[in-house]
Structures are given as C-alpha cells and as structure tokens.
Structure 1
C-alpha cells in the first residue's frame, strides 16, 4: 500500500473542507446542546442521509429525540456548515445489532481512503446526573472492542451542573442552613467532580482502547457558553497539523482558540 509522505498527506488534508465529528453517548446526555454551542446557534441541525440527500427534518424530529435514526446521517448547522456531525444514538439500549452497526461505522469511517468521509474526532458524552450508572455496560464494551485507529476519543463529562444541587443538598443533610450551604456548595461540587472523574478514568483506562482524554463540561445550557476548551482539547488530540488547522479554520471568530495555536499574525 502506498504511504503518503508528509507533504502528500498535507495536500490531501487541504482538500478536505469540513471537519467531521462522531458524537456518542446515551439519550439525554446533552449531545445536541453541545453541538449547538460549538456552532453558536439554538437552531436544530439540517439532516442529510448517507447519500447527501437532505432529509425532511419534521419527519425525523420525533425519531431524533428518541434516538431512532441512522448513524450515517449527517447533522449540519446552517450557522457553521464546516462541521459535520454524526450521532450514534441507539447502541446504549443494549441491542447487539445497534452496537454492531455503530462499531462497523466507527471502524470504516476511521480508516476509509475517502478522506472527505473520514471522521476526525469522537466526542463520547457521559452524563454526571446519575452517579450510580455513569458508565454503562454498553459504554465499557465500546472502549473494549472499538479500535478507532488514529481518531482520538475524548470523553466529555456532561450535565456537570447537576452536581451543584447534589452538593447543596449534601450540606443541608449535614445540618447546615441554606446560607452556609450556598457558601460551601462550590467547594463540595469540586470534590464531587474530582471523584466522578477519577471513577470514570478508573473504569475506562483499564479498557483495551481507552479514551485519549477527559473533559468535564459546564454551563452548556447557557447560550453564550464558551467552547474554547473543548475545541482546544480536540485540536491537541489530533495527530496531524493539517487536521488541527482544519478544525481551527471552522472557528475563525474564536480568538482564544486561534491564539492558542498561533495562526493569527
């Protein structure tokens, strides 16, 4: 097989005009909200099938909410069409068939020679609102069985904001009044976040194909949420400078990200 030298590889990457991300995780993990914040919009995405034909969103809307759609579908936001997203809804329900379809998609799209179809990064969302089942059997199975090759997987700990209420209630249960509980809640929330992060790392770092990195997200329900850290983590995880530039080029208005990678004069 012909191996591309660095110059050829860069030339091939330069022909790719859109950055493609697979977003994984169970329903209600906050995936759509993250994508909206990254693309700076509150609109729903336009949906295209695997052949590039636009799908009637009103027909699919109910299915999307329940997670019934094809992983091949492309989700594109008008506000930033240089991003293409795929959503892996379905496999966490325990269906072997759904898992196999997801696995086949990941394996094929991570290594396809069609560079415009290749996924460049995977965001795996794990919500913190249910501390008793932060990592499900299906999620562990993904990291044990799915070799994503050079495509980095970043675990996003979502619904972090729910820890604030947990912290407040814990302090109330300890006998503090509301004012004192409010004052100390941030400190307890930080401790809870560290505990959750260590638990998830403990489970997933033992897997055959562990994540590249972990990132707790906060404030994603705010329309002005800052996604610079998420994009920086993603760019740092990429093993090709050309792919870093491709990602950064989708965010030219993000001064913090551009300065981070010194592409602004």
Structure 2
C-alpha cells in the first residue's frame, strides 16, 4: 500500500466562500495520475564520462568567436576545426556527476565589434543519455554533439547499502559554495567625499562598512573590512588617484597582482572605480586614473572586472533640474516634465561622463550611474547586476553566486542565485535524485530550506529563518493555503508589481503597534504526517516540493521589501507570511502547480519540466528592480519592537 499518495479535499470554510486546499495521506485510494512510485525505477545515471564535444554552426546566423565547456569545476576551451565547426576531445574523459552543472558558453561577434555571450544548459544529459554514446542538442541552428565514454549505465542510482548512508545528513549546496568562496571580495577605489562608504553601506545592507576610526584618504589596501551585519563580503579600500601621483597606482597594481595568484577565497573578485559626476566642463579622468585604465585595457591587471561607478546621481539630477526654463514647462503635464528631465539628464551624463570614458578606455568598459537615496534603489541594483555578470564571466561561478548572496538591493538576483544553487544538485532532479532516496521528507525539505534562506542572506542573528518554527510555518503553507477556484489555470498574474501592490495593502493594516499577528498557519500546530514519511516519488510529493520552494522564495521576497536591510524579527516574518498567504499570488502559485501536476504523466521525464516550472513561477512573481522604490513607498514601516512569539 502506498501511503504517500494524497487526494485533494475541498472543505467548506466558515464565513468564506473560498474553498480550502488540503493535502492529506490516504491509504485506501490512489487518485494520482502518476505512475505507481513503487514500480518506478529511475534509469538516470549518477555519473557519466564525457570524452568530447563538437559544435557545428554552419547553418546558424551567429558567427562564433569561441566556446567554453563548463563541466562541474572544469573549464575547457573548444578549439576551432574546419569551416564553421569547433571540436575538442578530453583525455582522460571528464566525469560529470549528478551534483555537477554542465553548460556551454558561446561567444560571438555583434555589430560594432561588440562581443556577446550566452550560456546553453546541458544538464539534462544525465537524464537522456541512458545507453547511448552521444548526446545531441540544437540551439538557434547550432548543432552540439557530446561524445560519451564507455558504458553510460555503469554508474546508476543505487539503494543505499548501509544504515550510515541513509542517516548521513544531507549537505546544503550553499555549504559547498561557502567552503570554496566564503565571501565576495571587492576593492573600492575613490577619492575622499566621492561617496564610497554610503555606496557600500547601501549595496550590502550594513551600517558602517568602513569604520569611522579609518581616517579619510589614508586607506590601507590590504586591510580587510568585514561587517558584523553581513559577513558575506569583504571590502578593501583605496584612495583615489591624485594628479601626477603614481604611487597609489603602483600600490593597487601590486595588490591585484598578488591576489591573482591566490585561491578563489582570497582572490579579488571585482573592483569599483568611483567618480562623482563632475559639473559641465569639469574633468572626469585624472592622470593616475588614466594610467590605471591603461593597465586594464592592456591586460596587465588580468581578468579582474573593473566597473566604473559614477556616484551622486541624485545631486546631478537636481543640478540639471535647476537649469530648466520654468516657463517652458508650464504647458506640460507631470509625465511630460519627467520625460524632459530624464532626456536632458541622459544627454548631459553621456557628454560629461560616458563619452570621455569610452573615448579613453574603449566602448566595452562596464559602467553604472548610482545614487544611494532610497528612491533610486534601481541604480544600485543595476550596479550589482553588472558586477555579478562580469564576475561570472571572468572570475568563477561560485564567486558570482557569492556576489548575489552578499548584495542586499536586488531581490531578482537573489532569485537568480537560488535557481543557480538549486540547479546544481537538488532542484534539477527532484524526481530522480538519489540523495533523497529512503530519507525522511523533513530532511529533504530542510536542505532545500537552508539553501534558499542562505542565498537571501538576511541580517538574522537569532536564526529565526532557519528555526524549526519557521520551517513548520512553510510546511503548513504548502498544506493549507487558501486558493480560489482554478477556473482558468492558464491565467497568470500581470507582474510582480501587481502582486506586491496587493501585499502592500495588507501590510498597511498589519504594520504599527497593534495586537500580535495571528497566522492562518501557526507554527505551533502539529506538522502534517507526510513530512515524517520516507521520500517516495509520487505526483503529490512532487507538487509539495515545488510549492515549498516557490512559497518560501516568495515569502522571502516580501520580507526583503519589508526589512530594507534591518534585523530580522519574528513579527516581520509573520507579516511577510500573512501578506503572502492573503495575496492573490499564493492562490495563483498553487493553482498553477496543481494544474502542472494534472498534466504531468511521466515522472521519469519530469525533471527538466519541473525545474522549468519552478523557474517560471519565480520569474512570473519576481519584483522588477525598476519598481522597488515605488513599492517601498507603498509599504509602511513595520513596527519591529517589541518582538512577539511565533
């Protein structure tokens, strides 16, 4: 008898016309449309060996410049072959295990000699190889063939052969990343008064990244600043380059050279070169800065990403605004005035900053214009996005994940990092992951929970987000979220803005010194029985795990909006949970997961589709960084003192 199969029961709810979704164990009925899990045997191998890769782009409009295979921790260049083909053999073959990622990074020329790149995910090779000796994939008329070595079925998922295998604690993927790269390491260069401290404080959600005892203009570049409010980044500070002064250029160059030879943990991952936006006619680049950029352009600083940061954007806007002729604005509506100001700001910024920079350093130098005022939060998010992109491209994947973990301004990057972490091991194989086999579902959920919470990296000194109580709340969300009738399962929410707009109204009622918040799903109630069952694959189990991942992520997204880098409290967690549960988002998520489960008929083919559905739901309800400032303006400050119990 299969005890993990469940049924959906719609029960009347007092004072409400809404049905309640309740999933519960049922040993007498088998209503799932999925194959019987006891008869399901996964044929996905735990590991395969890759002996070669070939790429044929003769029928594609894209002109490939280079290609790189990313197999687990290995990065291997694919050499050009005859015509529009590339080919590379690996001797000995490279082993690809279930927890490894596999992708191709293709670089090709675009117009104006710009180089673009894209990553092609090949993770499904473990589920589709079986006994074949080749894996084929087509992308934009580019044909990819991966040659496999030996019998691909020699290393298959096996039942644990000892009690110690099943009792050994599952290891979060984030623990493995932290072991390799525990912190995002950044060097910030800029003159006194340019706004370095406020930039770091806002970007990483800390109070004082550079202590007040550190005298302005006397930075020790080797000193490591680590904030107690966020220990996932380490800062190196350097004063700017004064005219005619070469000493600091040499200090910075020597520092970068020394760090290049170190392990990923101690390497420098990025440099922010900061300038205050000058007034019209002012000089942007001094002699020392030009020398530094010349070193970078000539390749003498290696692959370290250098991002030019133009600071105090809000002051620049105010300066431009004061130059406008008020009489010319009288007949314009507010939106037209806003557009006029934006066009003038962009034109002047291009003239006094971007054109001089590109004229000297070339068109490919990354740059961002930022303000640390909360109403311009999207500018900081853009800086972080540019930095993460170049760290991923030029340093390492683990360092780019740590970039996303360390920052506290862009929830979209948190979701992106969660997906990256989940794809490496547990999310990409929910239906065939040998790691979950014969383990209690509570242990499987715990490792998923830990990975997601650690990526969001809230200031949570009491560890409320990893507590048993909060995990119980999330489990009960999966079981008892109120949902509307799924009359149109293909309906989707308009955007993250509409989602959080609904949340904002709920928060307005909950915020302030009011009575303790009562959750619709309490932490103190008995946890559903299925949590203590041994993991056995079924359609309902798959839906529960999907709901757990998405529900938790979207609650943390709401928490990000409420906290704005403050310390986590139980009260604000409860506000976030209640807001999510009572918003249209929760019902939409569960409706779509249920509909996905009804349409899914082959569990053995579900891995890729399941991962895609999880990503789709997260992206659908992700908050657009351009709307963060507007959303925060709608959401009142939550009174966190005094805190309250669960």
Tell me which interval the TM-score lies in, with the shorter structure as reference length: 0.7 to 0.9
Q: Name structure 2 gaps, 5 residues minimum.
A: 1-70, 76-99, 101-175, 423-548, 550-646
TM-fit CA distance, 1:137? 1.3
Q: In 2 relative to 1, CA 168–223 (structure 1 residues): closer, same or farther, beyond 3 Å?
A: closer
On the 8 A contact 1:33/1:221 being kept in 2, the answer is no
Which is higher, the Rg of structure 1 or of structure 2? 2
Q: In the alignment, which residue of structure 1 is the partner of 2:341?
A: 185
Query: SS at the partner of 1:229?
Result: helix
From 386, 401, 407, the equivalent of 1:245 is 401
On the 8 A contact 1:16/1:116 being kept in 2, the answer is yes
Q: In the alignment, which residue of structure 2 is the partner of 1:202?
A: 359
Q: In the alignment, which residue of structure 2 is the partner of 1:127?
A: 276
Q: In the alignment, which residue of structure 1 is the partner of 2:184?
A: 19
179-188 vs 224-233, which deviates more?
A: 179-188
1:180 and 1:29 map into 2 onto residues whose CA distance is 38
Query: SS at the partner of 1:116?
Result: coil
From 199, 203, 209, the equivalent of 1:45 is 209
Q: In the alignment, which residue of structure 2 is the partner of 1:51?
A: none
Q: In the alignment, which residue of structure 1 is the partner of 2:234?
A: 84
Q: Name structure 1 gaps, 5 residues minimum.
A: 47-56
Q: What CA deviation, in whole Å up to 9, does each residue of 1:71-112 have, x standing for no partner?
A: 111122222111001111153354322222122112222x12
On the 8 A contact 1:163/1:192 being kept in 2, the answer is no
On the 8 A contact 1:13/1:243 being kept in 2, the answer is no
Query: SS at the partner of 1:44?
Result: coil
1:156 and 1:141 map into 2 onto residues whose CA distance is 17
Q: In the alignment, which residue of structure 2 is the partner of 1:225?
A: 377
On the 8 A contact 1:14/1:242 being kept in 2, the answer is no
Q: In 2 relative to 1, CA 7–168 (structure 1 residues): closer, same or farther, beyond 3 Å?
A: closer
From 144, 151, 175, the equivalent of 2:304 is 151
TM-fit CA distance, 1:36? 0.3
Q: In the alignment, which residue of structure 2 is the partner of 1:52?
A: none
Q: What CA deviation, in whole Å up to 9, does each residue of 1:134-179 have, x standing for no partner?
A: 111111110112522121111111122232233223324xx74786
Q: In 2 relative to 1, CA 91–191 (structure 1 residues): closer, same or farther, beyond 3 Å?
A: closer
TM-fit CA distance, 1:187? 3.0
Could you say which structure has the higher strand fraction? Answer: 2
Q: In the alignment, which residue of structure 2 is the partner of 1:75?
A: 225
1:158 and 1:39 map into 2 onto residues whose CA distance is 16
TM-fit CA distance, 1:37? 0.5
| 1:30 aligns to 2:195 (yes or no) | yes
1:93 and 1:80 map into 2 onto residues whose CA distance is 35
Q: TM-score, normalised by structure 1?
A: 0.76
| 1:7 aligns to 2:73 (yes or no) | yes
Q: In 2 relative to 1, CA 149–13 (structure 1 residues): closer, same or farther, beyond 3 Å?
A: farther
TM-fit CA distance, 1:128? 0.6
From 285, 290, 306, the equivalent of 1:140 is 290
2:404 and 2:354 map into 1 onto residues whose CA distance is 27
Q: TM-score, normalised by structure 2?
A: 0.33
2:313 and 2:409 map into 1 onto residues whose CA distance is 27
Q: In 2 relative to 1, CA 93–85 (structure 1 residues): closer, same or farther, beyond 3 Å?
A: farther
Q: In 2 relative to 1, CA 151–39 (structure 1 residues): closer, same or farther, beyond 3 Å?
A: same
On the 8 A contact 1:119/1:151 being kept in 2, the answer is yes
TM-fit CA distance, 1:257? 0.9
1:171 and 1:32 map into 2 onto residues whose CA distance is 32
Q: In 2 relative to 1, CA 31–252 (structure 1 residues): closer, same or farther, beyond 3 Å?
A: closer
